[in-house]
Each structure stands twice: as C-alpha cells, then as structure tokens.
C-alpha cells in the first residue's frame, strides 16, 4: 500500500480523503493557500505544504502540485472533486512524474471530459443518448436554426467541456437561439477555456439519475446502485438520494446494466459516475460521465457500506476488486443535503464570514462531512458549500423525517446558511412523497424560501422607512 498520499484539494473533500488515508494507515500531505491557513485539512494531515500565496492559483497548478508531492515524498495524488480533478493534462503529468494518479487513466478523462466525444462513443456502443448535435461553432446561424428545428424546441445548449451546471442555456424558440448561443459560448470560454457549444433536445421534467461505478485495472466493473439528484437549482445539485425513492427494481436492473456497459465502453477504471436523464415514460438517456469522486458519494457509501475513497485508493494501488455485482445491496435510504453559506433570500448569494457557533447534528445514522469549526473564518474565494449532512433510515419517508430532525438540530451561527431552506423542502408534501423532477426547485422556489429571514428584512425595511420619515420631518 502507499505510504504517503498528497491531496490536491481543500475543504471538506480534503478532510474526507485524510480520513480515508488514516483508515488505511496512509500518511497524508495537505497543500494549502495562504487563505486556507486555518483550514481543518491542515490540522488533520500528517504534513502540510504551502502551495501558493494566491488563494486559487496553487490548487490549479499541476507543476507546483507535482513538485510538492516530490518534495514531501508522496507516492500518489488524490485530486478530490473540482479544481484539477478532471484535468487530463494534470493526470498525465502525475503519471509521467512517476506518481500514481488516484482516478481513471488520463485518456479516459480527456474523452469523457468532452461531452460530444462521450456522446459519440456511447452512441457507437448502443447506449441511448439524448437527440442532439455536434458542436455548432463552425456553422452559420441559419444552419444552427435548422438543426434546432429538426430536434424540436425546447432545446438545451451546452458547453462541450462544461461542468457544475455552467455553460447551459435552455432555448424555447428560434428568436432566443442566437443570443443564447452567444451567451453560452462566452460562459464556456470564461469557465472552461473552450467555447465549443452543442445542443440537445430539452427533456421536459426529467429525473436526474446517476449510477456510481467502481472498476479495477483488470476489467472488473460493477455499479453501486443509483442516486436521484433531481433536486437542483440552476442545474446544480442540492439534495441527493440513494437509491431513487421511485424507481422500480426492474428499471434499476436495466439502467444498471447500461451504466456498466457505458463505463466499459469508456474503458473506465477507478470510481466514476454515469449520469442519465429519466423521462416520464421511463425512457432514459446517457447525459455524461464524471471521471472523479462526486460531491454526493456519501449517500452511496451509507447504503452500500463501502468506503468509496478507500476503494479509489486501493484500486489505484493495483488491488483486484473483491466485489461482484451480486454483492451490492441497498440498506435503506440515504439522503444528503448540501449546507452552503449563502443568503437564500438574496438569490443564494455566498455569505462567507466567521463561524461564531457550530453544533453539527448527531445521533444514529447521521453523518456530517465538513471542514468548519467554531471560530473558523470561511474564506470568500471558494465554493460556498461548508458541510454535507447525510442521513440514513430504513425507508425514504423515515429518511426525510431524520433529515428534518438533523437539520433542525444543526446550528451554525455567524453566517447565513441554506439550512432553513432545506428544512422547508423536508416539510414539502411533494418532496416527502418523492414527487419531484429537475424542475421541482425552480417551480417551488418562492414557497420554499424561509419566511423568518423575510420577516427580518421586512422589519429592517419598516425601521428604515420610519427613520427616513423622521429625517424628512426634521
């Protein structure tokens, strides 16, 4: 087994990886920027390494990170999620530097990172994909309109190398097509340095169903059941459930077989995820493959009893998968709620600051993956997710109830969080019944926004008006 691993990440996932290392008796090296000096991952790692004064650049610099790994005598690098985790160049450089990359081969990352290439490969292998196009950049507007008409509105424009819900635009008619295409291209260039944009048929009110894949280096590939990630805001997941509360075992079997076939077609190794859209008629379509550990891997861990990060490390170390598909069964239902430091009543604006009180939820079948603590100052430079609350129960109903209990118990003071909003979702009858699709949050947003904060702002408005009136009188 590896003696020491470098973690090319920060925040909760760095902490999660350190825990997996400790469980396996592996030493860990945490890299950090100056802005992350007080981060929990530094306190927990065996060794720390200042990667850059800049808050972002160090985490995104393959050469600096490889140098850090060499200097600290590491044998492998775990990239976590985000940052360089899906950067094929980084993965290649790691291998060329004779370090082990804890993830799939860089060629697989490159192929699956391009949504068009991925779609093409899947189609060749008989995997159903959403009707769509190749990149539209080299066509004139007339040809683009023709393709859209052929597919039929609404369509969805997507950046070929997109991720995190960015570079996506839904287009309802031809008059919006060109302006949306230009906007999508600009966003793609800004975020992904590649402005290739293609289109797909926009599936109305689908569920987002994804299968967790585990594959060793010797052709053994299984799936660890599915997650329903339909609760999304602006194409970003907020709540994830495993297994899907509404899927029949027949459909699960069918989709599972296709997910494994997709992973095999991609020559996939290590942990990865095949994402599908599932429509009203139970027709499903390959959407993309994520070549890294997902934010929501914890719900799969909870229902399968498998440590996914530990498995990633063991597979990268050359272990043969000692699990067959028939070994994989769900123990109840797990739900994850992402707790973000955001002002939900102000368009979910990030709300970094000092944590003045922190009481995470506890009790049976409640898990919190986080990196914050009382007195910690959340830096403003990174993602606003500060904790993942994961619960498990024997049925979906009981899992929602437990999530509700745990959210009410979870106290974070000093910054505004998504907790009150998440509580409202738990109390919503459609959510409780499992009646939701990817449009659920956008449609119900107003009714789910917490009243309390609204009252506070109303009160402030009343006081402000009164004060203003007083000044006018003077």
Instruction: Identify the active-site residue in 119, 207, 252, 292.
Output: 292
Instruction: Please report, in angstroms and rounded to a whole number, the separation of the first and last CA atoms in the chain.
Output: 77
Q: Which of 134, 176, 383, 397 binds ligand ADP (CB under 6 A)?
A: 383
Nearer to ligand ADP, 27 or 167 (CB): 167
Residue 369 engages ligand ADP in binding (rule: CB under 6 A): no
Identity of the residue, 159 or 328, whose beta carbon is nearer to Mg ion in the bound complex: 159
- Whichever of 137 and 236 has its CB closer to ligand ADP, that residue is 236
Question: Is there a catalytic annotation at residue 166?
Answer: no
- Backbone dihedral angles phi then psi of residue 188, each to the nearest 5 degrees: -60, -40
Q: Which of 133, 180, 232, 270 binds ligand ADP (CB under 6 A)?
A: 232
Q: Which stretch binds ligand ADP (CB under 6 A): 43-51, 283-291, 389-397, 416-424?
A: 283-291
x/- track of binding to ligand ADP for residues 427-466 (CB under 6 A): -----------x----------------------------
From CA 232, how far away is CA 229, in angstroms rounded?
7
φ, ψ dihedrals at 405, nearest 5°: -60, -50
Burial of 117 (0-12, 13-18, 19+ CB in 10 A): middle
Tell me: does residue 209 bind ligand ADP (CB under 6 A): no
Q: Of the ranges 37-45, 199-207, 389-397, 462-470, which one interacts with ligand ADP (CB under 6 A)?
A: 199-207
Query: Should residue 202 be labelled a site residue for ligand ADP when binding is judged by CB under 6 A?
Result: yes
Q: How far is the CB of 28 from ligand ADP (least distance, A)?
A: 18
Query: Minimum distance between the CB of residue 388 and ligand ADP, rounded to whole angstroms?
Result: 9
User: Would you say 286 or 410 has its CB closer to ligand ADP?
Assistant: 286
Please list every residue from 93 through 152 that binds ligand ADP, using CB under 6 A.
Answer: 130
Q: Which does 243 bind (CB under 5 to 8 A by kind): Mg ion, ligand ADP, none?
A: none
Cβ proximity to ligand ADP: between 163 and 256 the closer is: 163
What residues numbered 143-182 form the site for ligand ADP, per CB under 6 A?
A: 156, 158, 162-165, 168
Residue 288 makes contact with ligand ADP by CB under 6 A: yes
Stretch that binds ligand ADP, among 103-111, 195-203, 401-409, 446-454 (CB under 6 A): 195-203
Instruction: Say which residues have a Cβ less than 8 Å from residue 74's Cβ, sequence separation at least 6.
Output: 4, 5, 6, 29, 99
Q: Does 287 participate in binding ligand ADP (rule CB under 6 A)? A: yes
For residue 174 the two structure tokens come to: 């031809």
Q: Which stretch binds ligand ADP (CB under 6 A): 14-22, 214-222, 284-292, 328-336?
A: 284-292
Nearer to Mg ion among residue 48 and residue 291 (C-beta):
291
Angle between helices 249-265 and 115-124 (to 10 degrees): 110
Query: What minimum distance in Å lies between the beta carbon of 451 and ligand ADP?
Result: 27
Q: Does 297 bind ligand ADP (CB under 6 A)?
A: no
Count CA atoms within 13 Å of residue 287 on its CB side: 26
Q: Which is nearer to ligand ADP, 158 or 185 (CB)?
A: 158
64-97 CB burial, b ≥16 within 10 A, e <16: bbbebbeebebbbbbbbbbbbbbbbebbbbbeeb
Under the binding rule (CB under 6 A), the answer on residue 200 touching ligand ADP is yes
Rule CB under 5 A: which of 272-331 touch Mg ion? 275
Packed helices 297-304 and 308-316: angle between N→C axes, nearest 10 degrees? 90
Binding segment (CB under 5 A) for Mg ion, from list 21-29, 198-206, 212-220, 269-277 = 269-277
Residue nearest to Mg ion (CB): 275
Site stretch for ligand ADP (CB under 6 A), options 28-36, 187-195, 234-242, 257-265: 234-242
Q: Does 52 bind ligand ADP (CB under 6 A)?
A: no
Residues forming contacts to ligand ADP in the complex (CB under 6 A) are 11, 81-82, 85, 130, 156, 158, 162-165, 168, 200-203, 206, 208, 232, 235-237, 275, 277, 287-288, 290, 294-296, 383, 385, 438
Residues forming contacts to Mg ion in the complex (CB under 5 A) are 275
Indicate which residues carry an active-site annotation.
292
């Amino acid at each position: 087994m590896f003696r020491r691993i470098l973690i090319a990440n920060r925040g909760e996932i760095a902490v999660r990886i350190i825990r997996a290392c400790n469980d396996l008796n592996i030493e860990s090296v945490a890299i950090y920027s100056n802005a992350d000096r007080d981060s929990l991952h530094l306190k927990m790692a065996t060794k720390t390494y200042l990667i850059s004064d800049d808050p972002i650049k160090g985490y995104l610099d393959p050469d600096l990170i490889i140098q850090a790994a060499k200097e600290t005598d590491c044998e492998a690098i775990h990239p976590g999620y985000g940052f360089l985790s899906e950067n094929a160049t980084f993965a290649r450089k790691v291998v060329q530097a004779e370090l082990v990359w804890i993830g799939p081969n860089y060629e697989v990352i490159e192929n699956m990172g391009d949504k068009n290439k991925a779609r093409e490969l899947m189609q060749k292998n008989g995997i159903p994909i959403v009707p769509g196009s190749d990149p539209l950049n080299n066509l004139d507007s007339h040809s683009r309109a023709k393709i859209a008409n052929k597919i039929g509105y609404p369509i969805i424009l997507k950046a070929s190398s997109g991720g995190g819900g960015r570079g996506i635009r839904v287009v309802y008619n031809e008059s919006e097509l060109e302006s949306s295409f230009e906007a999508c291209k600009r966003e793609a260039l800004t975020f992904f340095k590649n402005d290739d944009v293609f289109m797909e048929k926009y599936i109305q009110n689908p569920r987002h169903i994804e299968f967790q894949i585990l594959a060793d280096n010797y052709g053994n590939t299984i799936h660890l059941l599915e997650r329903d990630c339909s609760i999304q805001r602006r194409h970003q997941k907020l709540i994830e459930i495993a297994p899907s509360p509404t899927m029949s075992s027949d459909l699960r079997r069918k989709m599972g077989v296709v997910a494994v076939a997709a992973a095999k077609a991609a020559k996939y190794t290590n942990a990865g995820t095949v994402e599908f859209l599932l429509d009203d008629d139970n027709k499903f379509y390959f959407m993309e493959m994520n070549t890294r550990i997902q934010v929501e891997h914890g719900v799969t861990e909870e229902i399968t009893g498998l440590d996914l990060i530990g498995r990633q490390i063991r597979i990268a170390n050359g272990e043969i998968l000692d699990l067959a598909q028939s070994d994989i069964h769900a123990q109840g239902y797990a739900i994850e709620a992402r707790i973000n430091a955001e002002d939900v009543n102000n368009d979910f604006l990030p709300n970094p600051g000092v944590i003045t009180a922190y009481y995470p939820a506890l009790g049976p079948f409640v898990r919190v993956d986080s990196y914050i603590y009382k007195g910690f100052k959340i830096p403003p430079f990174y993602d606003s997710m500060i904790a993942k609350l994961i619960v498990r129960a024997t049925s979906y109903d009981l899992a929602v109830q437990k999530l509700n209990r745990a959210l009410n118990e979870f106290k974070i003071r000093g910054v505004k969080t998504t907790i009150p909003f998440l509580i409202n979702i738990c109390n919503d009858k459609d959510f409780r019944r499992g009646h939701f699709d990817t449009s659920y949050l956008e449609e119900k947003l107003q009714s789910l926004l917490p009243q309390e904060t609204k009252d506070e702002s109303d009160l402030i408005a009343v006081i402000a008006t009164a004060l203003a009136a007083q000044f006018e009188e003077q």
